[in-house]
Structure 1
Amino acid sequence: MDARKAHKASSSSSPSSSSKRWKYQVFLSFRGEDTRKGFTGHLHAAFSDAGISAFLDDNQLEKAEFIKPQLEQAIDGSMISIIVFSKRYAESSWCLDELVKIMECRERLGQQVIPLFYNVEASDVRKQTGSFEQAFEKHEAGKHEKEKVQRWRNALSQAADLCGEDLKNADNGHEAKFINKILGVVNEQLKSKYQLDIKHPVGITSRVKDLSNHLDIENSGSKDDVRMIGIWGMGGIGKTTLAKAIYNEFEGSFEGRSFLENVREVIANQPMGLVRLQKQLLNDILKSKGPKKVDSVPKGIEMIRKRLCCKRALVIIDDADDLHQLEAIAGARDWFGPGSRIVITTRNKHLLEQVGVDSTYMAEKMDEEEALEFFSWHAFKRGYPHQEYLDLSKRVIRYCQGLPLALRVVGSFLFNRSIADWESHLEKLQISPDGDIQKILRISFDGLPDDRMRKIFLDISCFFIGEDKDYVTKILDGCGFFAKIGISVLIERCLVTVTYNRLMMHDLLRDMGREIVYENAPEQPEKFSRLWKSEDVTDVLSNESGTKKIEGVSLRGSYRTRFSAQAFTKMKKLRLLQLSNVEITGEYKDFPKKLIWLCWHYFPLESIPDDFPMQPKLVALDLQFSELKIVWKDCKV
């Protein structure tokens, strides 16, 4: 990559959003006697209806001096301050003190300030003329210090110079239209301030563009339809990040919005987890008008159906894994107002079919350039590797195969480590997969419906990657695994893919499956359920240490090896046997008798020995590239 591309990479990831937690979205500053029961009251009600949290001092709090610190805290804790300048605004020293505080927060915290000119001229506010001049004549003649009065004047001038809104320019003073215009301005400001945090959004823009076609938000023909969209993909592929990007891009187009993150985990680990999610959905969209009490799933369903049916909402349901969850949160399209969009992320494609989504988007892994940039942000805190680490970084990219989870985990671990440490860790990863990556990937394995499907996955990961799907299905059916439906489920759960009818699997999923086999008897290959590493198989066969735990063995050597048939004597449950360039000595009566699959390439004999045991369960016999001239000398079978 040249310097120009490197610069582009390093600038494509924006920094994290501010960590400040705002208490309110809007603070309203106004002269109570002028507008409390009129314009400002209507504006506050409009904010509330739109789900915008706005602070409004009630009961004319300016009469109680002890309340002032609370108002200062409210100003300090608001994203946006709106100042309603009315004719008598400057008569109130309370209002002017508020204004000074607001302008200080703008300078100190970067708070957005929007002045509204309600039946006053901006120039009168700026220059303190007209009714403002009269107010200041009283202030200067009164008890106030000159320095304080000057601070008020400066604050008024600064505020009036900001980009604001004037009632007389809003359709000839039409207040309702003026309020709608202000709502639009505030929503636009909140869109840039109230975004979900995405660190290093590499490759997100193109994916959001693709997904926006599925959402179909701008199409006038479907703008009133309620659409459900599924984002489907394997664990760690970036489904949640993509959902956050969709939320950030489009949330401003909806009356209400809710991002329900980690649905599976919340329900599994929190008491009344599903009820909590229902309450969050209602509170997110209704804001201050949310329900006070939801104490059961049926009650939550009733509240969602009644309260959200008129709200045009964007709802993200992240990491769903069960139909019951979706039926309780978004059971039907008419639970939400016209134009709503419900986005579901999941590892289970069949779940999306059960719900009846309108469209499904399959999350894609990163290409090589994206992967290198994303990894570099975690490993180097920049968009491209240091030159001396470039080759090592490319080795990591090949290992991770475009999986963002793996790129993040490995990159973060290698940050600020030496080249020697990098080389050592890469060697380790080839033997023992990273535990943090495996933990996320294993969720899909553990979530499989039954033990037969888990055995199918383990058999494929150990023996059948790259094999014809129909061929493998027949073999595993012979094992009693009901493989046709089992493989379909593995495909739906993104644990297996099919390319040109051949079973394929991400390398990290393959490693996860093999690690599961190891974990039951670490460092004791004779107790593994499946043996595929040549050193393990050679060790067990040479030492004749096999046990009844072993269900499958694969040894594919490039040179001829020799073992005694007696090495198989104790493997009573062996059903899958794959050999290549292997010669068996001794009496074949000791050979396994319950094989389902026997694949023996370069079989060294011209005929199968007379004492070779009957194989009543055998489904597939593969003796390619052998010396075989006749199967049996006598037609015994």
Structure 2
Amino acid sequence: MASSSSSSSLTGHSKYKVFLSFRGEDTRNGFTSHLAAALHRKQIQFFIDDEELEKGDEISPALFIAVETSDISVIILSKDYASSKWCLNELVNILDCKKMNGKIVIPVFYQVDPSDVRKQRRSFGEAFVHHENNFPDKVQKWRDALTEASNLSGYDSTESRIKKRLQLMKVLIVLDDVHDEFTELKSLARRLQFSGRSRIIITSRDKGVLDKCGVNNMYEVKGLKYNKALELFCRKAFRETNCSHDLLELSEEVVRHADGNPLALEVLANNNGKLMKLISEPNIYNVLKISYDELNLEEKKTFLDIACFFTGEDIDFVRRIRDDPSSLDTFVDKSLITIFYNELQMHDLLQEM
């Protein structure tokens, strides 16, 4: 199994609410990443295997600890899950913990038929043709584990199941922070029928993503006005609409620094009690760096030039003196810069990053 990183450091004393078991190549950048993001938003401690961990036939001691100290294990059974001996060994360990310690195990059948998992058919059967030749002493244990997991109460996310539930319904779907072509969404959308009054709202830092998704209308989300920004910060930081007088001046400074960015305000507010350190909070920059990190090396150099020398300049002037004026359109599409009354502008937080 391969994946991203743990939501907290892994030690012998760690305790997680949820352990995620999945095949990285299948779901790392789709279902699993969205599930992990949802758990993080709900402040649920979860473990997700670090892709830098050494791969091998056996589970590392660190993973044993993570499984044993998690209350719930979510097994995302996808098309190529059984092709990974790492995943299968992990599954055996999860089910052993269920038997010995009463741990909760929840299978998610991600675009696979539960009966194919139970009977090892299709991609699961193909995987075992390979395993029979290479790991004959482990095959039966792996088969038994898949059969047991498939008989547990879980969730079926196959397209047919979604189709039955959503077909002809009037729905509102919000897809937040989409940052790739979202191929799975387009494939699914072609197969589903919604009521004509349904709406799908997609938010993205990259206008190119919205073009590829074939949106009907595109809107630029404006930053919060000062009063609303101050109210949001106070609600998140102090659980009140207004903050006390002694914190008002510092709160106003934070709000001015965030410049209407709701995400920045929430990250700052979540560090209530550390107001003197808020303005240098690194988590904000980690989020804002997402679009920057997607640039190639030359684009990054150009962006740094703009941040240092051209913020506030006339956009036509900047285009004339740049060797690669088309790169400016890339920065606009990725919401790294904005053009307001022909003036090149950049969020203060991005400029300081």
Are 2:319 and 1:473 equivalent residues in the alignment?
yes
How is 1:78-93 mapped onto 2 (pairs within 5 angstroms)? none
Q: Is the Cα–Cα contact under 8 Å of residues 368 and 397 in structure 1 kept in the other structure?
A: yes
Give the 3-state SS of the residue equivalent to 1:362 in structure 2.
coil
One-letter amino acid of the counterpart of residue 242, structure 2: Y
1:308, CA displacement in angstroms?
A: 4.8
| Percent of aligned pairs sharing the same letter | 33
Task: Give the aligned partner of residue 314 of structure 1.
Answer: 172
2:240 to 376, 379, 382: 382
One-letter amino acid of the counterpart of residue 483, structure 1: P
Q: State TM-score, norm by structure 2.
A: 0.52
Task: Give the aligned partner of residue 501 of structure 1.
Answer: 342
Task: Give the aligned partner of residue 283 of structure 2.
Answer: 436
One-letter amino acid of the counterpart of residue 393, structure 1: S
Task: Give the aligned partner of residue 425 of structure 1.
Answer: 277
Call closer, same or farther: CA 1:425–1:314 in 2, change over 3 Å. closer
1:336, CA displacement in angstroms?
A: 3.8
Are 2:207 and 1:349 equivalent residues in the alignment?
yes
Q: Residues of 2 paired with 1:262 and 1:319: CA distance?
A: 12
Q: Is the Cα–Cα contact under 8 Å of residues 320 and 345 in structure 1 kept in the other structure?
A: yes
Give the 3-state SS of the residue equivalent to 1:343 in structure 2.
strand
Higher relative contact order (CA 8 A, sep 6+): 2
Are 2:241 and 1:400 equivalent residues in the alignment?
no
Give the 3-state SS of the residue equivalent to 1:360 in structure 2.
coil
- What whole-Å deviation, never above 9, does each CA across 1:76-133 have from its counterpart, x for those lacking one? xxxxxxxxxxxxxxxxxxxxxxxxxxxxxxxxxxxxxxxxxxxxxxxxxxxxxxxxxx
1:378, CA displacement in angstroms?
A: 2.9
Call closer, same or farther: CA 1:355–1:264 in 2, change over 3 Å. farther
Aligned length: 221
1:507, CA displacement in angstroms?
A: 0.3
Task: Give the aligned partner of residue 134 of structure 2.
Answer: none
- What whole-Å deviation, never above 9, does each CA across 1:457-505 have from its counterpart, x for those lacking one? 211111110112222223331xxxx331x11111111110001222100
One-letter amino acid of the counterpart of residue 468, structure 1: D
Call closer, same or farther: CA 1:325–1:308 in 2, change over 3 Å. same
Q: Is the Cα–Cα contact under 8 Å of residues 174 and 202 in structure 2 kept in the other structure?
A: yes
Q: Is the Cα–Cα contact under 8 Å of residues 230 and 251 in structure 2 kept in the other structure?
A: yes
1:274, CA displacement in angstroms?
A: 12
Q: Residues of 2 paired with 1:444 and 1:490: CA distance?
A: 9
1:305, CA displacement in angstroms?
A: 6.4
Which structure has the bigger radius of gyration? 1
Task: Give the aligned partner of residue 511 of structure 1.
Answer: 352
Q: Residues of 1 paired with 2:181 and 2:77: CA distance?
A: 12
CA RMSD in angstroms, aligned pairs only = 3.9
Give the 3-state SS of the residue equivalent to 1:363 in structure 2.
coil
Q: Residues of 2 paired with 1:369 and 1:322: CA distance?
A: 34
Call closer, same or farther: CA 1:502–1:275 in 2, change over 3 Å. farther
Q: Residues of 1 paired with 2:292 and 2:286: CA distance?
A: 10
Call closer, same or farther: CA 1:451–1:265 in 2, change over 3 Å. farther
Task: Give the aligned partner of residue 462 of structure 1.
Answer: 308
1:483 to 298, 309, 325: 325
Q: Residues of 2 paired with 1:264 and 1:510: CA distance?
A: 32
Q: State TM-score, norm by structure 1.
A: 0.31
Call closer, same or farther: CA 1:320–1:412 in 2, change over 3 Å. closer
